[in-house]
Amino acid sequence: MANLRQTPLTCSGHTRPVVHLDFSSITDSGYFLISACKDGKPMLRQGDTGDWIGTFEGHKGAVWGVALNADATKAASGAADFTGKVWDAVTGEELHSFQHNHIVKSVNFSKDSALLATGSNEKLVKVFDLVKPEAEPDVFVGHTGGVRHALFFRNDTHLVSVADDKTLRVWDRSVGKEVQKLDFPFSPNSLEVSRDGTVLTVAYSNKVAFFDANTLGKIREFSVPTTVNSASLHNDKSVFVTGGDDLKVYKFDYATGTEIESFKGHFGPVHCVKFSPDGELYASGSEDGTLRLWQTTVGKTYGLWKCIDGHQIGDGVAAPKEAQTCI
């Protein structure tokens, strides 16, 4: 198994930079992946193979943020046309369009899929009721810069957001107010809540920091060899991955920060990385307009990667070339 070459699955189809992505949970049909792209057309794919399923048509501007609900029945997208949209992920039909007064950068579903949180260049976090979509949203005021990411938090009782004002803020939904705040020396580029809800992962400048989800106490922080645009923590908290301006994806030991491996496959800066819900792969999206899927454990038979007697087909090549590219 030594010296196996990582062979990513390349997912083409987008015509502009891919800036954000999200996975569903594991469903009866596997799991799914949605991508946000400046071409204005978010795409849905089978998560373990990257096979294209459909494209959501309707935005009139670059799409900056996307989300899937847990069972992949609904999708959401936020765009430069000042809207946050909710889609039927099975039919592709647009279900709701929520007008904002500026670019919508972030969308996120509550666990029961009844609510949608948005973060925007309005400097606001909003929560829309998908059962009563005509109702006015709950609005959370306090950021002094555009909101980059806003997520449901602490079993949906709270929200957590990061913004261009170099802060992370936690909002209590029951009182509609900010209850905790962290300041950073640079604007946070990415925010992730671990699947078990216990750890926040924040990337900023050339650093990745991990915080206790309850106290916001810093667990650890590591420097990375490049500006980090995105970071994702593995479900078992053994490793984390990053993507940034030097075109590489990196994997690090979570306990020590030691670099385990790095791979160059993209032809532009990496804007987003995220582990799949089963932890077997991580996806990356880039300025080059592609998504790539990378094996967490190189050389393991999984998805389109075939492994025979401990060796991948083709001396480290995961699969025939035709199987590696999905359109």
Tracing tokens 């509550």 back to the chain, one arrives at 110
The DSSP letter of residue 162 is E
Average pLDDT (243-272) is 97
Give ∠ CA 285-225-296 in degrees, rounded to 5: 50
- Give the count of alpha carbons within 13 A of 317, CB side only: 9
Average pLDDT (158-168) is 98
CATH of 9-326, picked from 3.50.30.30, 3.10.129.10, 2.130.10.10, 3.40.50.1360, is: 2.130.10.10
pLDDT-derived band at 202 (thresholds 50, 70, 90) equals very high
pLDDT digits (tens, 9 = 90+) for 20-78: 999 999 999 999 999 999 999 999 999 999 999 999 999 999 999 999 999 999 999 99
pLDDT-derived band at 1 (thresholds 50, 70, 90) equals very low
pLDDT at 261 over 60: yes
Amino acid type, 53 = I
Percent of the chain with pLDDT over 90: 90
pLDDT of residue 239: 98
CB-based contacts of 96: which residues, under 8 Å, 6+ apart? 85, 86, 116, 128, 130, 133
Which one has a higher pLDDT value, 61 or 326? 61
Average pLDDT (1-27) is 88
CB-based contacts of 69: which residues, under 8 Å, 6+ apart? 24, 75, 89, 109, 113
pLDDT of residue 293: 97
Q: CA 119, CA 140: separation in Å to the nearest integer?
A: 10
pLDDT at 184 over 50: yes
pLDDT of residue 144: 98
pLDDT digits (tens, 9 = 90+) for 66-109: 999 999 999 999 999 999 999 999 999 999 999 999 999 999 99
pLDDT-derived band at 206 (thresholds 50, 70, 90) equals very high
φ and ψ of 242, to 5 deg = -140, 160
Average pLDDT of the chain to the nearest whole number: 93
Amino acid type, 187 = S
Average pLDDT (279-302) is 95
Average pLDDT (205-225) is 98
pLDDT of residue 3: 52
Q: Where are the domains of the chain?
A: 9-326
pLDDT of residue 38: 98
Q: CA 71, CA 228: separation in Å to the nearest integer?
A: 30
Token pair belonging to 87? 């889609």
Token pair belonging to 177? 């107010």
pLDDT of residue 5: 82
**Is the CB of residue 88 less than 8 Å from the CB of residue 47?**
no
